[in-house]
Chain A
Amino acid sequence: MDRYGMQNQIACIRRSLFDQGYLDEQFIQLEELQDDANPNFVQEIVTLFYTDSTRLIQNIELTLTSRPTNFSKLDDYMHQFKGSSSSIGAKKVTSECAVFRQYCAAGNAEACIRSFQHIKQEHAILRKKLEFYFQMMGQAAVAQTT
């Protein structure tokens, strides 16, 4: 694929991420922080997020399965998770977290579990999409140098 073709494709991918609501304005903030000194900043942040959030997800899972359900702990974890995901602009993930917290506040364990499934799904979907996106960018960068 030629240089421009690739760039166009990447631009399309990116736009669709926003259009479909996977990413929000915060992601743009990250992109703006990227500069020559940190050319892979966005990717680094996303990687960091996924590493950290995976750990958080495990903790939440454990807490969800233990009885009696410790709602305050769940809320704590989810608060952290929400803060993290909102920082990178993960829109769908963040809104699912908000839903979870509502159920958690209501003490509805069942709903929390269901909501958490959604969170994990969104979390995984976004990850794939971003990985693909970064991969394309990497290829484009290589293409540019060749």
Chain B
Amino acid sequence: MNSSSGKSYMSTASSSVIWKAGGDVVADQFPAGLRVLVVDDDPTCLMILEKMLKACQYNVTKCNRAETALSMLRENRNGFDIIISDVHMPDMDGFKLLEHIGLEMDLPVIMMSADDGKNVVMKGVTHGACDYLIKPVRIEALKNIWQHVVRKRKNEWKDFEQSGSVEEGDRQPKQSEDADYSSSANEGNWKSSKRRKDDEDENDERDDTSTLKKPRVVWSVELHQQFVAAVNQLGIEKAVPKKILELMNVPGLTRENVASHLQKYRLYLRRLSGVSQHPSNLNNSFMNPQDATFGPLDLQALAATGQLPAQSLATLQAAGLGRSTAKSGIPMPLVDQRNIFSFENPKLRFGEAQQHVNNNKQMNLLHGIPTTMEPKQLAGLHHTAQSMGNMNMPVLSHGSQSSQNNPLLMQMAQPQARGQMLNDSTVGLAPRLLSPMGQPMLSNGMATNVSTRNGVPENIRAPSYNPVSQTSSMLNFPMNHISELPGNSFPLVSTPGISSLAPKVAFQEDVNSEIKGSVGFMPSYDIFNDLNQHKPQNWELQNVGMMFNTSQHSNSLRGNLDHTQSVLVQQGFSTGQNRNSTVISKAMFSAGDSTGHVNAQNGNQHLNSLFVDNTVRVKSERVADAAPANLYPDHFGQEDLMSALLKQQDVIAPAENNDFDFDGYSIDNIPV
């Protein structure tokens, strides 16, 4: 384990210790030493806060610019436990920063402002802030901020445990309680959905290893690939830690390791679907539909965020480059996103994935519409792809022959119910998608997964999650997608762009319901469900997907996915990257705060409203993604695409484990 993880690990341990003691703060030093990052452009306030936090015995780092804070966080993901940020800052809106942090690092963020207006506070809540302080801040208010850290960890734990690792008996009950007193709305939703999901899946996975302190395992690329392969093989829904562990057959790896990684992975996938990559990435990759240069772009984005391990980046780039040329412009961001599941970090870095997603192509994010298997996703998948690659490869190779892909996709999807559904729908779609995408993809080398784009958008979505290497993700993604995310599978078919969303949604969906067949089974994503209903539109989605892939879509998708993570989603979409697709999601998140995305055509609108109803943020994201149709004016009636995407999204979403609840992860779409 690396030191940083060790550090956070320790914090976790502390928290757990606390829990064990029945909630009493045991005599360990926690919360002393809590690592706080405080961001405020006002030097007076900053100095006062620093002094106050030091008086609370916290470890304080101050920063007067949001950009600086973000890069600090990226460089050292595990270097901080909690962030306190002002809302009003000159270089970046505090909410945007909040979204980014939520998406990329998933750390608790406290907002503060002299403004105590209800709207602003509400915005904080919807964007995923775990607390909101009114200036002038008193030291008493700061004394208890550690609770947010503990709470978050607890939630993570819960997922953790539920995913199969059984901790001490007393822990279990605590976790259940946790949902009860979650302070933020997000947490509540998130937890409950997570819990639900976990309970469904993991009840039989209890182990007797119940050490609170799990040794941190560094998930290397290879290890992650094995993991993804195992998950794909089992099918995302059936992928339980025990079986994954068996399949992986890695000595020294415990079920808990796998369980926690699986959790993160799911979150990652979810983010992918809803996350939009960095604006920069997005622009690059999505901007040109023709160019589907998501690969390179994503990589850059990923690399920028530091998430992309050097090697991955190289791989991705290679893949991406190859792809770019060949690609007809259908970015497979979706796929990448998924794969981008942080290989290196045990903790999922949604932010990264999200970036991917965004960059790659919102499309993937979209409901899982296979539309665009963003390269990034492929990259992310790349390890997965390897394992799955075999499966996909054949498919991909045909690229153009969507039909071929479909079968393969279907195979992949098989394990997952969702996948199935998608396949059906995707089949129709896939051909389309595949052709445009497949071909390019193949050439890239990512081909295997790439082609999936058409049908494999889903995979793509996932890859993006890991910044690791876009190119690789691309490839992998499709593969992973198919197998892993039932929901994802849908994307494959539907829309590339959407797929990204789908993964996200899928996650959520899982919680709510399985993807029944990609048709609106997602309770949380009502909208999606609706979309799904229109199966026939799948092919439409394809178009959409394609469109999305090219540029905006991926972005929006990404944004969408991310949004689910955090309320920020709305913002993410607006960024424009999401463009159309995000519209929908936006609606969901920001309660209609779709800045740009709203393009979502009617379908989107509808979705939006639906989403809005759904508290799940993620949902909005997804919807938004679907909306991207607007973004790509040319190709396919965006509207059609959007609706198709949306539908896809719905379908896909359910497949995934929703337990993660989108709430936490804001999508990178958030325009900075």
B32 within 8 A of A: no
Given known A84-B42, A87-B44, contact A33–B114 (CB-CB < 8 A): no
Complex CA gap A87/B137 in Å reads: 7
Of the candidates B43, B52, B86, B135, the one whose C-beta lies within 8 Å of that of A52 is B43
B42–A83 contact, CB under 8 A?
yes
In the bound complex, residues from chain A placing their C-beta under 8 Å from that of B43 are: 48, 52
A: number of interface residues (CB 8 Å): 23
CB-nearest residue of chain A to B140: A29
| B213 close to A (CB within 8 Å) | no
Tell me the chain B residues, 529-558 only, with Cβ under 8 Å from chain A. none
B113 at the interface (CB under 8 A from A): yes
Contact of B114 among A30, A52, A83, A89 (CB under 8 A): A83
Task: Check if A121 is an interface residue, CB within 8 A of chain B.
Answer: no
CB distance from B332 to the nearest CB of A (A): 42
B137: nearest chain-A partner, CB-CB? A87
Q: Is there a chain A Cβ closer than 8 Å to B635's Cβ?
A: no
Give residues 127-183 of B contacting A (CB, 8 Å).
Answer: 135-139
Most B C-beta atoms less than 10 A away, residue of A29, A41, A83:
A83
Task: Determine if A79 and B88 form an interchain contact, defined as CB atoms under 8 angstroms apart.
Answer: yes
Q: Chain A residues near B51 (CB, 8 Å)? A: 33, 38, 41
Q: Mark B36-49, 1 if CB is under 8 A from A, else 0.
A: 00000111110110
Q: Is A32's beta carbon under 8 Å from chain B?
A: yes
From the candidates A33, A53, A80, A82, name the one contacting B48 in the complex (CB within 8 A). Answer: A33
Give the distance in Å from the alpha carbon of A76 to the alpha carbon of B87 in the complex: 12
A22-42 CB mask vs B (1 if < 8 Å, else 0) is: 000010011011000010010
CB under 8 Å from chain A, chain B span 38-93 = 41-45, 47-48, 51-52, 55, 86, 88
Q: Does A106 contact B (CB under 8 A)?
A: no
B138:A29 contact, CB within 8 angstroms: yes
Find A83's partner among B45, B52, B55, B138 (CB 8 Å cutoff): B45
Assuming the contacts A83-B114, A86-B136, asked whether A30 and B88 have C-beta atoms less than 8 A apart, the reply is no
Q: Does B208 make an interface contact (CB < 8 A)?
A: no
A-side contacts of B86, CB under 8 Å: 83
Check if B88 sits within 8 Å of A82, measured CB to CB.
no
Contact pattern, A 67-100, Cβ under 8 Å of B = 1, otherwise 0: 0000000001001101110111100000000000
Are B136's CB and A26's CB within 8 A? yes
User: Which of B273-303 touch A at CB < 8 Å?
Assistant: none
Write out the residue numbers on chain B whose beta carbons fall within 8 Å of the beta carbon of A87: 42, 44-45, 48, 135-137
Is the CB–CB distance between A83 and B48 below 8 Å? Answer: no
Q: Complex: how many Å from CA A41 to CA B136?
A: 17
Q: How far, in Å, is A121 (CB) from chain B's closest CB? A: 20
Which of A32, A44, A83, A89 touches B88 (beta carbons < 8 Å)? A83
In the docked arrangement, what's the CA distance between A88 and B86, Å?
Answer: 17
Contact A86 B135, beta carbon cutoff 8 Å? yes
User: A49-B44, A76-B88, A88-B44 are known contacts. Are A83 and B139 too (CB-CB below 8 A)?
Assistant: no
User: A43-78, CB under 8 A of B: which get 1 and which 0?
Assistant: 011001100110000000000000000000000100
- Contact indicator B139/A84 (Cβ below 8 Å): no
Residues from chain A with a CB closer than 8 A to the CB of B52 are: 29, 33
State how many angstroms separate the Cβ of A91 from the closest Cβ of chain B: 11
Q: Is the CB of B44 within 8 A of A82?
A: no
CB-CB under 8 A from B42, the residues of chain A are 52, 80, 83-84, 87
The smallest beta-carbon distance between B92 and chain A, in angstroms, is 14
Q: In the complex, how many residues of chain B place their beta carbon closer than 8 angstroms to a beta carbon of chain A?
A: 20
Question: Which B-chain residue is minimally distant from A51 (CB atoms)?
Answer: B43
Is B115 positioned at the interface, with any CB of A under 8 Å from its CB?
yes
Alpha-carbon distance between A87 and B136 when the two chains are bound, in angstroms: 5
A32, A52, A86: which contacts B139 (Cβ < 8 A)?
A32
CA distance in complex: A6, B377 (Å): 72
Contact of A48 among B44, B55, B88 (CB under 8 A): B44
Within the assembled complex, what's the spacing in Å between the Cα atoms of A44 and B86? Answer: 22
Known contacts A33-B55, A33-B139; A86/B48 CB under 8 A:
no
Question: How far is B248's CA from A102's CA once the two chains are assembled, in angstroms?
Answer: 64
Chain A residues with Cβ under 8 A from B47's Cβ?
A: 44-45, 48
CB distance from B51 to the nearest CB of A (A): 5
Query: Which residues from chain B contact A45 at a C-beta distance below 8 Å?
Result: 44, 47-48
A1 to B457, CA, bound (A): 83
Complex Cα distance, B135 from A33, in Å, reads 17
* A109 CB, nearest partner CB in chain B, Å: 22
Min CB distance A8 to B, Å, is 28
Q: Within residues 558 to 578 of chain B, which ones have a CB less than 8 A from any CB in chain A? A: none
User: Is A86's CB under 8 angstroms from B114's CB?
Assistant: yes
Task: Give Cα distance in the complex from A84 to B386, angstroms.
Answer: 55
Asked if residues B45 and A84 are in contact (CB atoms below 8 Å), the reply is yes
A82 to chain B, nearest CB (A): 5
Complex Cα gap A88–B136 (Å): 8
Q: How far is the CA of A38 from the CA of B55 in the complex (A)?
A: 11
How far, in Å, is B107 (CB) from chain A's closest CB?
Answer: 24
B136: chain A residues at CB < 8 Å are 26, 29, 83, 86-87, 89
Q: Measured between C-beta atoms, what is the minimum distance from A137 to chain B in Å?
A: 18
Which partner residue on chain A sits nearest B49 by CB separation? A87
B522 CB, min distance to chain A CBs, angstroms: 41
A3-29 with Cβ < 8 A to chain B = 26, 29
Check if A79 sits within 8 Å of B48, measured CB to CB. Answer: no
**How long is the Cα–Cα vector from A74 to B480 in the complex, in angstroms?**
52
Which chain B residues have a beta carbon within 8 Å of chain A's beta carbons? 41-45, 47-48, 51-52, 55, 86, 88, 113-115, 135-139
Please provide the 7 A-B residue pairs with the shortest distance between their CB atoms, ordered closest to farther: A83-B114, A86-B136, A49-B44, A87-B136, A26-B136, A33-B51, A87-B45
Interchain Cβ contacts under 8 Å between A and B, 26 examples = A26-B136, A29-B52, A29-B139, A32-B139, A33-B48, A33-B55, A33-B139, A38-B51, A44-B47, A45-B48, A48-B44, A52-B44, A79-B114, A79-B115, A80-B42, A83-B42, A83-B136, A84-B44, A84-B45, A86-B114, A86-B135, A87-B44, A87-B45, A87-B135, A87-B136, A87-B137
If A33-B51, A52-B43, A82-B114 are given as contacts, then 19 extra A-B residue pairs at C-beta distance below 8 Å, sorted by A number, are A26-B136, A29-B52, A30-B48, A33-B52, A33-B139, A45-B47, A45-B48, A48-B43, A80-B42, A83-B42, A83-B113, A84-B45, A86-B136, A87-B44, A87-B45, A87-B48, A87-B135, A87-B137, A88-B44
* Chain A interfacial positions (CB closer than 8 Å to B): 26, 29-30, 32-33, 38, 41, 44-45, 48-49, 52-53, 76, 79-80, 82-84, 86-89
